[in-house]
C-alpha cells in the first residue's frame, strides 16, 4: 500500500505518523504564564536537534475547540516569557505525566492536579518536576509556525542553559540507562519502556 498525505484526512495520516515514527521521547514541559501561573504538559513530537548550540525542539499542535481552535498554554507561555524546562519521563512517573496530558483550561495548575512536587530552576523561572531525574532549563531560541488550523502547530526550539541531573541516575559520572528507565510514546495510548537494549558497534572505516 502506498499513500500520500493529500489522499487521507489529517487524522488518518496522523495515525500513520505516530504509529510508525516510534518510540518517541517525551518532553514534559513546564512553563509559567506571564502572571506566574504554572503549566505542565507532555509532548512526544520532541528531540535534541543540535549539540552546538545545545538545542532541544518540540512541536505543540493547535488545540481544536467546538467553535474553533486555540494555542496551547505551553506555547502561549513561552511566547510571553521566553523560558521553559524540559523534564524527562521515567516509568515511575508515567502515570503522573499522563494526568497532565489532558486538554485543561489555561488556569489549571497541572503540578497540583497530578500531585507533583516542584524543584526550583537555577537560571530560568519555570520550576522543574522534582520526580524527574533530568531537567533541561531552556531559553527560547526560535519558534516556527506551520499553520493556523488544527492539527497544525509550531516548532519550538530552546537553547539549553542549565541541566539538572540527579545523582542516583549516574554511574561513574555518566548517565546510566538502567537507572533512568525512560519511557517513549508509541501510537494511540501505547508507551514503551527502555528496559531492553542491545549494542551494535559502528563499523571501522579506514581513511
Residue spans of the domains in the chain: they are 5-193
* Model pLDDT for residues 163-174, shown as the tens digit of each residue: 999 999 998 889
* Model pLDDT for residues 18-58, shown as the tens digit of each residue: 899 899 999 999 999 999 999 999 999 999 999 999 999 99
What are the Cα distances from residue 130, in Å, to 13, 22, 54, 118? 36, 27, 23, 5
Q: What is the pLDDT of residue 62?
A: 82
Q: What is the pLDDT of residue 145?
A: 94
Whether the pLDDT of residue 150 is over 80: the answer is no
For the full predicted model, state whether its pTM sits above 0.75: yes
Q: What is the pLDDT of residue 68?
A: 59
Q: 92: which residues sit within 8 A by CB, 6+ positions away?
A: 131, 181
The pLDDT mean for the chain works out to 92
Q: 84: which residues sit within 8 A by CB, 6+ positions away?
A: 29, 30, 31, 74, 77, 78, 124, 126, 138, 140, 156, 158
Whether the pLDDT of residue 137 is over 80: the answer is yes
CATH match of 5-193 with 3.40.1390.10: no
* Model pLDDT for residues 56-68, shown as the tens digit of each residue: 999 998 876 666 5
User: 207 falls in which pLDDT band (50, 70, 90)?
Assistant: confident
Q: What is the pLDDT of residue 67?
A: 65
Which stretches of the chain are DSSP H helices? 10-20, 73-81, 94-99, 110-113, 177-180
- Cβ-contact 106, 119 below 8 angstroms: no
- Cβ-contact 110, 30 below 8 angstroms: no
% of the chain residues with pLDDT over 90 = 71
Q: What is the pLDDT of residue 127?
A: 98
Q: What is the pLDDT of residue 66?
A: 61
Q: What is the pLDDT of residue 5?
A: 87
Tell me the C-alpha distance between 30 and 38, whole Å. Answer: 7
Amino acid at each position: 500500500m502506498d499513500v500520500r498525505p493529500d489522499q487521507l484526512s489529517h487524522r488518518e495520516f496522523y495515525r500513520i505518523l505516530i504509529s510508525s515514527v516510534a518510540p518517541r521521547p517525551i518532553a514534559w514541559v513546564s512553563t509559567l504564564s506571564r502572571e506566574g501561573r504554572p503549566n505542565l504538559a507532555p509532548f512526544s513530537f520532541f528531540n535534541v536537534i543540535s549539540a552546538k548550540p545545545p538545542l532541544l525542539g518540540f512541536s505543540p499542535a493547535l488545540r481544536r475547540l467546538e467553535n474553533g481552535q486555540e494555542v496551547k498554554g505551553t506555547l502561549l507561555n513561552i511566547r510571553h516569557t521566553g523560558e521553559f524546562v524540559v523534564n524527562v519521563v521515567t516509568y515511575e512517573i508515567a502515570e503522573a505525566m499522563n494526568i497532565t496530558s489532558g486538554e485543561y483550561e489555561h488556569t489549571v495548575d497541572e503540578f497540583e492536579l497530578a500531585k507533583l512536587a516542584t524543584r526550583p530552576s537555577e537560571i530560568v523561572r519555570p520550576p522543574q518536576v522534582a520526580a524527574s531525574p533530568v531537567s533541561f532549563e531552556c531559553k527560547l531560541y526560535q519558534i516556527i509556525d506551520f499553520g493556523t488550523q488544527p492539527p497544525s502547530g509550531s516548532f519550538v526550539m530552546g537553547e539549553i542553559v542549565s541541566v539538572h541531573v540527579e545523582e542516583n541516575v549516574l554511574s561513574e559520572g555518566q548517565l546510566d540507562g538502567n537507572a533512568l528507565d525512560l519511557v517513549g510514546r508509541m501510537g494511540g495510548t501505547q508507551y514503551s519502556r527502555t528496559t531492553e537494549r542491545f549494542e551494535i558497534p559502528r563499523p571501522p572505516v579506514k581513511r
